[in-house]
Structure 1
Amino acid sequence: MRSVMHMAWCGAVAGALALSAGCSGEGEQTLAEKYPIQSKTCDALFGSKNMESLREMVGPDDLEFTNRPLSVDKVKKGLTQEALEPYDKIRGFEEYDVCWLSGDSQFHSTVTWAADSLKAVQSSAGRWHRAGSDVFVADTSYVSVVFRCDVKGASQQAQVLLEARVGDVSSRKFSEAFHEELAVRLARTVRDELRCTNQPEIPDDLAIEE
């Protein structure tokens, strides 16, 4: 009888310890667990190592993704659909918030079909400067990269310029070189996802003016 009671007591203690351990872990989800789609999209567009660095610069505590869940595939399908279908002048082009990380500071990036035409970009003496044969860059608080992207099957594309915009982070660790690297990475990833038939070359050096 004593043996049975001892076993029951041990079982109750073990159960209580397990319950306590389980409760102590509640609410301690990682950023990727809380925002699985946004985390996956940002990693795919910028690289996991770059995102690790950005998390340290933006946070590191109380981080959250402010943008709605949006997969790379949905961005790709949305941009492709806009290229294939007639242009809606009232609605305009969709701007996709692809990665918006908020904490002590914030990191924001978008992808869209550009508002400026190829002619306007080529003739601009102010905002845009050429960084490649089909690539133009504007550097303000955002680094904006526009490049020609011809979509297969879209013979009458309303716009041929894709625009990738990458904002800065108010951190001393956030350098001009890192900002440029992120802009190049985003532009190349979107180019590859859409499989631009003209195969635009996105250079490593965007010739950003300091």
Structure 2
Amino acid sequence: MTKRVLPASMMAGVVLSALVLTGCSDGAGAEKETTVSKSLQVCEQYLGEKNLEGAIDSISSGEKRVSATESSAYLVERLAREAEEWSKGELLHNQYTVCRIDFPMEDGTAVIEAMARWSVLTLDMLSEPKYVKSWKQLNDQVFVEPETGQSGMRLLVPCGVRGAPAGQQADAPLQLDVADPGLTAEQRQALLSTLARTLVDELACTNDPAVPAKLIP
């Protein structure tokens, strides 16, 4: 299995999302270990304990650094507020890192990262020829991009937020991404599907979108 590894020199310039992250361990100290444990629990909440355990085991049995959104309540509050303040044609949306796991290696760092944001792609745009080639419709409300140009997978899920302006559901759908260093397609879709279903539930989407477990058409 080919692993995508970021050179150590590039990692210093990586900018994480606007969301406050917690947890980073160098393996020293009970306090840091506790922080990593809490962050890992958040990652498991969004990505599934067994899914994440299998993904981690397939990458490395060595050291890992885990960071995650401070709390599900904070993430949902930020996303809900953005939806409520959304206006048609708006193209600026924050991207939130829900979970990030770094695996230090001899030639760099391997990374699993799960992200969420409101997309600039509308549902109408997905019917255009340039998007039809890369985006596949799974049901009447869920679209998947199996290959993002890197090692990862992306979902678009229209999610109506209570109190948001008319059109938000279709013109600013929820976008969910999982990037990794070369997991199998089955592992990747399990992480992404679980992430999507968890957030759809937490956001209490008014249209009640059904995210299937199987994302690869």
User: If each structure's helix is expressed as a fraction of its own residues, which one has the higher value?
Assistant: 1
- Once the two structures are overlaid, the 10-residue window that deviates more, 75-84 or 135-144, is 135-144
Measure, in 2, the Cα distance between the counterparts of 1:33 and 1:131. Answer: 40
Q: Point out where structure 2 has 5 or more consecutive residues left out of the alignment.
A: 1-26
Q: Is 1:198 paired with 2:207?
A: yes
Match of 1:41 in 2: 42
Q: Is 1:121 paired with 2:130?
A: no
Query: Which secondary structure state, in structure 2, belongs to the residue aligned with residue 197 of structure 1?
Result: coil
Measure, in 1, the Cα distance between the counterparts of 2:52 and 2:30. Answer: 18
Report if aligned partners of 1:37, 1:70 keep a CA contact under 8 Å in 2: no
Measure, in 2, the Cα distance between the counterparts of 1:111 and 1:63. Answer: 22
Q: Is 1:188 paired with 2:200?
A: no
Measure, in 2, the Cα distance between the counterparts of 1:180 and 1:57. Answer: 15
Report if aligned partners of 2:146, 2:216 keep a CA contact under 8 Å in 1: no
Q: Report how far residue 156 of structure 1 moved.
A: 3.2
Match of 2:99 in 1: 99
Match of 1:176 in 2: 185
Query: Which secondary structure state, in structure 2, belongs to the residue aligned with residue 115 of structure 1?
Result: coil
Deviations 1:141-191 (A, max 9, x none): 221010110011213354441011011333xxx321111111111111110
Match of 1:165 in 2: 177
Give the % identical residues. Answer: 23
Q: Report how far residue 87 of structure 1 moved.
A: 4.2
Match of 1:153 in 2: 163
Report if aligned partners of 1:138, 1:144 keep a CA contact under 8 Å in 2: yes
Distance 1:69 1:80, change over 3 A: closer
Measure, in 2, the Cα distance between the counterparts of 1:117 and 1:167. Answer: 22
Query: Which secondary structure state, in structure 2, belongs to the residue aligned with residue 56 of structure 1?
Result: helix
Measure, in 2, the Cα distance between the counterparts of 1:161 and 1:188. Answer: 14
Report if aligned partners of 1:131, 1:206 keep a CA contact under 8 Å in 2: yes
Report if aligned partners of 1:112, 1:164 keep a CA contact under 8 Å in 2: yes
| Higher RCO (Cα < 8 Å, 6 or more apart) | 2
Q: TM-score, normalised by structure 1?
A: 0.75
Amino acid at match of 2:188: H
Distance 1:88 1:27, change over 3 A: farther
Query: Which secondary structure state, in structure 2, belongs to the residue aligned with residue 127 of structure 1?
Result: coil
Match of 2:19 in 1: none
Q: Point out where structure 1 has 5 or more consecutive residues left out of the alignment.
A: 1-25
Measure, in 1, the Cα distance between the counterparts of 2:35 and 2:63. Answer: 12
Report if aligned partners of 1:38, 1:71 keep a CA contact under 8 Å in 2: no
Measure, in 1, the Cα distance between the counterparts of 2:47 and 2:68. Answer: 18
Q: Report how far residue 69 of structure 1 moved.
A: 4.5
